[in-house]
Structure 1
Amino acid sequence: MPIDAAKALAAEARSAAISWDHKDVQLYHLGVGAAANPDKDRPATDPDELRYTLESRLHVLPSFATVAGAGMGAMGGLSAPGIDVNLAAVLHGGQAIELHRPIPVSGTATLTSRVAAVHDKGKAAVIVLRAEAADGDGPLWASEAQLFVRGEGGFGGERGPSARLDVPERPFDRTADRPVRQDQALLYRLSGDWNPLHADPEFAKLAGFDRPILHGLCSYGMTLKAVVDTVLGGDVSRVRGYRTRFAGVVFPGETLRIGMWESAGRVQAVVTALERDGAPVLADTVVEHA
């Protein structure tokens, strides 16, 4: 069996030094739609967008944690002991981050990662990868990725949690539409996720898609940016945590419709693909904030 759950869970955590600077942050922000404002009356150099693109005003969107160090805490976990899977069978099932403090524009940290769980879903396995980053001043963030691996279940393991969030029985408090450029996946992958599923049509067909799809983590970042910009006044330092379940795919050229419900210290959201009659994209999505 390609997945040896016992071996993966028993393996020692792996640590690696990672570093980033303003160019990495700017590239990531452009990859999740910064400066591509859907309001054509506002230029790419609008002050609200320059917070994401101009080094003298730069702040860091917390979802940058998923690509810092070229995403070593997530897809890098697929090389852990006991894990040997076909990349074409892997889909990102969910993602969560917890922020201990704002991410600096440039820095060096130690990233410690491990396989936290392996769940048996019958026809598939879910690998839970946890990574924690700390620098000289202490903890920075913790992230948890759930990777869905088709065809690797049935090994007799625990099914794991399957709880879903209740959807509020009221209209959205806010709605934001965010277009996905045709070249969005090609730009986003420069932040470190080189999975050919997002660029190579032939590889996408092997994975069951008629064309390359957008990275789930790109939709994840675009959604957090929309929440920060519309609910949190553009203040990234207010984000304390962010989690989602990837409920469907996005194709470049589509539009994300982000519906938000606000409550004290919390924004719950659902994300759909506008051009496909509201096909689900992100579900069970929560941004916790100060």
Structure 2
Amino acid sequence: MLDYEKTKAWRSGAVRHTYTVRDTMLYALGLGAGSDPLDAAQLRYVYEKDLVALPTMAAVLASPGAWMRERSELGIDFLKLVHGEQGVTLHAPLPVAATVVGESRVTRIIDKGEGKGAVLTVEKTLTDDATGQLVAVCEQVLFLRGDGGFSQGQGGDAAAPALPAVPEGAPESMLELPTRPEAALVYRLSGDTNALHVDPQVAAKAGFPRPILHGLATWGMAGRGVVQQACGGEPHRLRALQARLTAPVFPGETLVLESWRIGTDEVAFRVRAKERDLVVLNNGRARMDV
């Protein structure tokens, strides 16, 4: 059973991560950038000439790793963990190469009840090791399907405010983002080597007909689309991005980013898998500099 006190007190300590322009380009390739070799806007992410970093890469830098699996005394059923939501707030443009320091901590654990699971939120601050400047704050929400009832009816922490729904009616703009058949094989090289995304036998045991794309890759592709549509192709203008992961994506599918303007500096969005007409990312909000 999940140990609330031990889990809430968990801290990663300082995780130093040195990444290069090659890592920056590899991350972008994992999100489908460069699929059109004549598109100068895409080449900025995958070619060292005038290279820029996609801001969503902050989510994969200086990761604390599979700490829930390694810390058995926490009592978390790692095999029943599902990535539920992801967010990032940018405080400075992400360098194309740097050494960054990540410090992660658990900020909230909600008990939904016996047989109903628990919800755990992890916050990661990312700073530039050379300057000490805060670069980004990332928030990951995990659904622990096997850990409901740990508080014996006390409920754990209070629930966080729900992500706002997208507006009713047809989206104001749509953008197709094709995924490559080998997308998961490329994206995993940015750090998430879970066999679910590469091994057909592991995928079958998890109930999938074939390996699925990483949820953070779907989220990152949405971020790339938001930068293209709402930030004029300038990644430094993106200030925050958050969304709920609602269904898996199979590599090779076409993602459709559907978005609505909210005022002058905010966009609501969702992502649909075109071939299955299925919403795979929902309750998305992005904020940008005008």
TM-score normalized by structure 1?
Answer: 0.90
Give the distance between the partners of 2:250 and 2:243, measured in 1 at CA: 19
Tell me by how many angstroms 1:80 deviates.
Answer: 5.3
User: Which residue of structure 2 lines up, in the alignment, with residue 56 of structure 1?
Assistant: 49
Give the distance between the partners of 1:73 and 1:242, measured in 2 at CA: 21
Query: Are the equivalent residues in 1 in contact too, given 2:3–2:150 (CA < 8 A)?
Result: no
Percent of aligned positions with the same letter in both sequences?
A: 37
1:272 aligns with 2:276: no
Tell me by how many angstroms 1:7 deviates.
Answer: 0.7
User: Which residue of structure 2 lines up, in the alignment, with residue 134 of structure 1?
Assistant: 127
Tell me by how many angstroms 1:24 deviates.
Answer: 0.6
- TM alignment of 1:78-227, pairs within 5 A: 79=70, 82-122=73-113, 123-135=116-128, 136-156=131-151, 157-158=155-156, 160-161=159-160, 163-227=162-226
Query: Are the equivalent residues in 1 in contact too, given 2:197–2:214 (CA < 8 A)?
Result: yes
Tell me by how many angstroms 1:83 deviates.
Answer: 3.5
Give the distance between the partners of 2:224 and 2:21, measured in 1 at CA: 18
Tell me how many residue pairs correspond in the alignment.
280
Tell me by how many angstroms 1:134 deviates.
Answer: 1.1
Mark the CA change 1:12 to 1:252 in structure 2 (over 3 Å): closer, same or farther.
closer
Give the distance between the partners of 1:66 and 1:252, measured in 2 at CA: 21
Q: What residue ranges of structure 2 are gaps of 5+ in the alignment?
A: none
Mark the CA change 1:79 to 1:142 in structure 2 (over 3 Å): closer, same or farther.
farther
Aligned-partner SS, 1:205: helix
Mark the CA change 1:283 to 1:248 in structure 2 (over 3 Å): closer, same or farther.
same
Give the distance between the partners of 1:128 and 1:80, measured in 2 at CA: 17
Q: Which amino acid aligns with 2:273?
A: A
Tell me by how many angstroms 1:162 deviates.
Answer: 6.1
Mark the CA change 1:250 to 1:12 in structure 2 (over 3 Å): closer, same or farther.
closer
169-178 vs 179-188, greater mean Cα deviation: 169-178
Instruction: Tell me the C-alpha RMSD between the 2 structures.
Output: 1.9
1:227-280, CA deviations, whole angstroms, 9 ceiling, x for partnerless residues?
11122111001011110110111111211111010131011101111111x212
Mark the CA change 1:164 to 1:46 in structure 2 (over 3 Å): closer, same or farther.
closer
Give the distance between the partners of 1:7 and 1:271, measured in 2 at CA: 36
User: Which residue of structure 2 lines up, in the alignment, with residue 41 of structure 1?
Assistant: none
Q: Which amino acid aligns with 2:103?
A: T
Tell me by how many angstroms 1:160 deviates.
Answer: 2.1
TM-score normalized by structure 2?
Answer: 0.90
Q: Which amino acid aligns with 2:26?
A: L
Tell me by how many angstroms 1:101 deviates.
Answer: 0.6
Mark the CA change 1:81 to 1:103 in structure 2 (over 3 Å): closer, same or farther.
farther
Query: Are the equivalent residues in 2 in contact too, given 1:185–1:213 (CA < 8 A)?
Result: yes
Q: What residue ranges of structure 1 are gaps of 5+ in the alignment?
A: 38-43
Give the distance between the partners of 1:152 and 1:205, measured in 2 at CA: 24
50-59 vs 76-85, greater mean Cα deviation: 76-85
Give the distance between the partners of 1:169 and 1:231, measured in 2 at CA: 20
Give the distance between the partners of 1:236 and 1:275, measured in 2 at CA: 29
Q: Which amino acid aligns with 2:111?
A: D
Tell me by how many angstroms 1:168 deviates.
Answer: 1.7
Query: Are the equivalent residues in 2 in contact too, given 1:73–1:130 (CA < 8 A)?
Result: no
Q: Which amino acid aligns with 1:134?
A: T
Mark the CA change 1:175 to 1:272 in structure 2 (over 3 Å): closer, same or farther.
same
Q: Which runs of 4+ in 1 moved over 6 A?
A: none
